[in-house]
Amino acid sequence: MAKLENKQVIFKNFIDRAPQETDLELKVSDIGPRAPSGSGAFLVKNLYLSCDPYMRGRMRDFHGSYIPPFVPGQVVEGFGVSKVVHSDDPNFKPGDLVSGLTGWEEYSLIKKTERLRKIQLDDIPLSYHVGLLGMPGFTAYAGFYEVCSPSRGEHVFVSAASGAVGQLVGQLAKLHGCYVVGSAGSNQKVDLLKNKLGFDEAFNYKEEQDLNAALKRIAVCGMVSQHSLSDPKGIHNLFNLVMMRIRMQGFLQSDYLHLYPRFLEHVIGYYRQGKIVYVEDVSEGLASAPAALAGLFSGKNVGKQVICVAHE
């Protein structure tokens, strides 16, 4: 049986700066059209791929993190939405739609099948399964409800508020009865926060001199501005944590995976009722992937950055 042509995005080598397009390269390979008999694997056609800030951490030669680095010369890995082409796993059949970790390539052979979950083709855009209903959306949900644990009427400040996580945090906070302020890196994004995402107030942090605020709790799920600095900036005014009784807590969304079914129920319900919206920045074609990832770290994206590899 003839092999399938398979375009791939290859990670070239480790870096100590912001990602650039040249850190990734496109390659054309081939792949067998069937999962090997007895392997328990399945072959998928990738439809949507997710660009996420955590991927910068996988581009450095550091093995002490919660996720291993990319392998130079190998295909980049990330979250995606895919369609099963052939399966040697009885739990998956051709035509099934799945979401989870996959390769940045047209076709992937998935051996660790437990890393993907089945999804349904319904009224929700497939791409939302790497954003609103994927890791970023769940990060927003767990961080807001479980880590911040807000009370109705409290003031909530969201940084990187127009991004994949921040835009949902702000909308969940509004639904919870909070007063919500967001910051973003351009006036276009500020307008988005106020006029589409429903934030009470928003500002361009590049135009503000003093960002002091009456904070009480800080849920730290990422620091996109710090990922590529060789000498990351320290925290200023740290004594304010004492004076203002501020609680600061880091977390990973994987700490709360037991809440994932509840998250899906709540967020899908809000979406179908028209109570939340989700903004995407979609790049067309696998060839756009290097620029899309690099742009994430210079603020070029407006909303959740997604790569459309193929339409069904």
Are 139 and 73 members of one domain? no
Are 88 and 152 members of one domain? no
Are 63 and 165 members of one domain? no
Are 245 and 177 members of one domain? yes
Are 85 and 155 members of one domain? no
Domain coverage including residue 36: 4-130+280-308
Are 181 and 108 members of one domain? no
Written as tens digits, the pLDDT of the chain (312 aa) is 789 999 999 999 999 999 999 999 999 999 999 999 999 999 999 999 999 999 999 999 988 888 999 999 999 999 999 999 999 999 999 999 999 999 999 999 999 988 899 998 899 999 999 999 999 999 999 999 999 999 999 999 999 999 999 999 999 999 999 999 999 999 999 999 999 999 999 999 888 765 554 455 566 665 555 555 566 667 777 777 787 777 888 889 989 999 999 999 999 999 999 999 999 999 999 999 999 999 999 999 999 999 999 997
Are 27 and 121 members of one domain? yes
Neighbours of 163 (CB within 10 A): 30
Pairing of strands 280-284, 155-158: unpaired
Are 162 and 124 members of one domain? no
Nearest to 31 by CA among 19, 41, 16: 41
Q: Please report, for the domain that includes residue 68, its CATH number.
A: 3.90.180.10
CA-CA distance, 83 to 108, in Å (whole number)? 10
Are 143 and 98 members of one domain? no
Our count of domains for the chain comes to: 2
What residues contact residue 209 under an 8 Å CB cut-off, 6+ apart?
none
Distances (CA, A) of 257 to 64, 199, 262, 311: 22, 28, 10, 29
The two structure tokens encoding residue 41 = 């694997």
- Per-position DSSP letters for 54-84, written without gaps between them: GGGGGGSS--SSSSPPPPTTSB-EEEEEEEE
Are 178 and 61 members of one domain? no
Are 262 and 139 members of one domain? yes
Contact 23, 11 (CB under 8 A): yes
Are 177 and 201 members of one domain? yes
CA-CA distance, 160 to 102, in Å (whole number)? 26
pTM score over 0.85: yes
